[in-house]
Each structure stands twice: as C-alpha cells, then as structure tokens.
Amino acid sequence: MKGRAQLRAARALAALATASVGWAAGAPAIFSAVPNYTSNQIAIGGRNFSPTGLAPAVTLGSSALTVASFGNQSIVADLPVSFAPASYKLAVTNSNQQAGALIVVLGTVGAPGPQGPSGPTGPTGPTGPQGKAGPAGGAGAAGPPGTTGPAGPLGITGVNLAAIALLRWYPANLTAQFAAGPGPWRAASDGANMWITNFGGTTITKLRASDGKLLGTFPVGSAPAGVTYDGANIWVTNTQSANVTKLRASDGTVLGTFPAGSGPNAATFDGVNIWVVNFGSNNLTKFRASDGAVLATIPVGTGPTDLIWDGANIWVANWMSNNITEVRGSDNSVIGTFPGGSVPNAMAFDGANVWVTNFYSSTVTKLQVSDGKVVGTFPVGDNPNGVAFDGVDIWVGNQNSNSVTKLRASDGKLLGNYPVGNAPGLVTYDGANVWLVNFGDNTVSKL
C-alpha cells in the first residue's frame, strides 16, 4: 500500500513538467517520465530510443544515468543516490546520436495514505479427505473497491518545487532585466534558452536563461510576433510577411518558411502539429511540424490574437468579436464559442481551466475546459496583455501599469503586484522563472 502511494506521489510530481515535448523525424520522443523512489529508478516512455538495438544514453541535468533496461519505446534508468528537489532536463540520445528531451520536476515523496479496508473473505472450498495437514493455501482474490466518498474541502495552495530549488522563498522579485531587439513581442523557452521575437524588426533573439547572455540574433520574416518550441525547433510567425519561419533551436539555422494566413500572430504546439492564429484573415492554420505542410485552415472569431492547447483541443482568443473559440484537435471542428471580456487577447492553461486577459476591462477570466463555463473574473492591472501559469499561480502582464499581477490559480486570490519594464506584454514561464517582454524599452524581465 505504501509503495503505491509513493508511486502516485511521484507521478504527480513528474506531471509538473512545463516544457513542451516534441520530436524531429526519427529523433527520440519522450512521452512520460515516472520516478520510483522505492527502487530509486525512473521509467521513461516514448519512441525511437533504440532504433538499431543499441543502448541509449540518458542524462538528468548534468548527470549521466545508468540504463538498467531498454527497448525502442521504454527505458528504465537508475537515479542518482541523492539529488535536490528541482526541475531537471531529462535527455535521451539514441544509437543514431539523435536526442530528445523533457523537463521533469523531482521532489520528495509525501507520507503514505491510510490503509484501505480489507476485502470480503472468499468462499470456503470443499472438505477434503482426512489426512495430515498440508501446506497453507494462497491468499484469496482481493475484494471489489468501495464507492468513492464525497470530495473534501479545498486544501491550501501547494508549493512550487522549481521555485524552492532556486531558493525563492519570497513571493516575487525582479531578478534581472536583459536587452532584446526592437519591439520585443513574445518569448518561448526551449528548456535552456529564451527566444524573443522582435516585432519592430525582422529578427529573433536567443538568450541563455540562466544569466541572460546573448547567444544569437537570427533573421526571420517581417514583424515577427508569435513563437513556440516543438522540442527541437523554434517556430516564428511573421505578421507582415504572412508566413511562418522554422529554425533549428541548437544553432538558429532556418529550416523552412511556410505560408500562413493574413497577419499570423501567435503559435502553439500540440505534440505533433503547429497551430497559428491569423489576425487579418480570422482563421487558424494547422501545420505538420515535421515538414510544415498545411493540414487545415479553420475559421474562428474576428481578429484572433492568441491560442493555447489543453491536451485535446485548441482555444482561441478573438480580440474583435469579444469571444473564445474551441476547436477539436483531432478533426479540426469548432465545438464551442464562449463569451469573453472586453477584447480578450492572451491565454494560459492551468490543467483544468483556461485563463484569458481582457485588455480593455483590466480583468482576467477563468473558464472550465470541460464546458467553457466562466468560473471567475478577477481584476488585475491596466490593459493586461499577457498571462502564464507556473504550476501553482497565474501571472498577468499589465501593459499600461508597467507591472505583473500574481493570482492564486485555485481561487483567483490576489497575491501581489510587482514592477517590471516599460509596457510589458506577453508572459512566459520556463519551468523556474517568469519572463516578461517589455515592448516599451526593448528589454525582457526575469522574475
């Protein structure tokens, strides 16, 4: 019973990974990483781990792990004897020297839950002939599980293990501010670096997340706005060029440029495909990530500005029609349209709810993904223009307050307002820190 409780706790901790999972053709793809603290091992699921039958190499952060067993779709590796609770980059390099990665959060296991009730006794077997006593029989089959009890009261907000690992015991703090290109608009993390689109030019900037060091500035299209990471490559939407650029994340090499709709603005990755909203043509374009082929063009609301993936469906914020569109990822059909606030423009997903900023009403709206029902609307700063989820809390960038608002995701309670740069826009969480792009002073803020 104790082992199962520990395994469930470990799975819950591992589910806090925040970087997107993706792959290039033939490269390893990690779908799951489940630590078992009883055996001190981690089970990794995915594909392309051993295409030639040779053992893959596995690293956790800077530590090489010993592979206990492997196949093309699974690996069991020994964890280090001791490690700090933190966010780690888990990487698998296969026998073709191709690599895939996933950010996982490892921590300590909580106390085991109480022992469940015993099942009913099995039926008595027939009486055998009298003789000497035989060996004891095996245990009978377990009884059926009992009915689920009522839900308990809402507990207190949990801790953010990634923040604790960085010794961030304080609510928030502007740790650093770094220069970007002209008119920084959006940012994306590749697990180690931040990529910032420069809307006022034709480039994207790559900064090392640990210290903000400039690693490169790479040419893309005109007025680059949206950016997302597919696990190996960076995708950039070019608003004025009406296309999308694909760059290799390791060195910034342009791998392709693909036509989109009018005014492509934001992008997201669903594990296989890239989705882009087109502000000027009021639709959504679906690209195959492996080769950039257009798979579908789906009409949405008027002036779509942002979108998120909830694991099954795409949610789109429509700036000019004041509503939210839900599109089913499997067949590209529109399955719902829900009212938003005044000019909905930025979105985040907390695992159960969609959060949408309302630019002109200075609020953020929380909707259930199960049915689109509004479960709360909460005041933030002036003209909220970005939102992100850090695993516990919601962060909102307020363009005309030069601040970021922190809300508790469970109930929307205000936890604080903190100063950042001039005209902050979109907000990104990299697994450890919150980043804001400051359009007004060409910088990015790291909290």
Q: 2-59 pLDDT, tens per residue?
A: 444 444 444 434 433 333 333 345 899 998 888 887 888 889 999 998 998 899 999 9
pLDDT of amino acid 232: 96
pTM for the model stands at: 0.64
Predicted local distance difference test score (pLDDT) of residue 138: 79
Distance CA(232)–CA(27), nearest Å, equals 9
Q: Note the pLDDT tens digit of each residue in 343-373.
A: 999 999 999 999 999 999 999 999 999 999 9
Q: What is the pLDDT of residue 142?
A: 79
* 191-196 average pLDDT score: 94
**Tens digit of pLDDT for each residue in 417-443?**
999 989 888 889 988 889 889 888 989
The pLDDT score that the predictor gives to residue 331 is: 96
pLDDT recorded at residue 24: 41
Indicate whether 230 pLDDT > 90.
yes
pLDDT at 35: 86
State pLDDT tens for residues 306-335: 999 999 999 999 999 999 999 999 999 999
pLDDT of 137-190, one tens digit each?
Answer: 778 787 788 776 665 554 444 555 555 544 454 566 666 888 888 988 999 999
With a CB cutoff of 8 Å and minimum separation 6, the contacts of 167 are none
pLDDT per position as a tens digit, 331-350: 999 999 999 889 999 999 99
| pLDDT score recorded for residue 108 | 60
For the chain, what is the mean pLDDT? 86
Average pLDDT over residues 266-290: 97
User: According to the model, what pLDDT value does residue 86 have?
Assistant: 80
**Residue 378 pLDDT > 90:** yes
Contact between residue 347 and residue 308 where contact means Cβ atoms under 8 Å apart? yes
pLDDT number for residue 315: 97
Q: Is the pLDDT of residue 236 over 90?
A: yes
Distances from the Cα of 280 to the Cα of 276, 285, 286, 320, 325, angstroms: 12, 12, 16, 11, 16
**pLDDT at site 239:** 97
Q: Evaluate whether 405 touches 381 at the Cβ level (below 8 Å).
A: yes
pLDDT at 9: 41
pLDDT tens-digit series, residues 165-178: 444 545 666 668 88
Which residue did the predictor score with more confidence, 97 or 118? 97
Q: Which position has the higher pLDDT, 68 or 224?
A: 224
Q: Is 332 in contact with 316 (CB distance < 8 Å)?
A: no
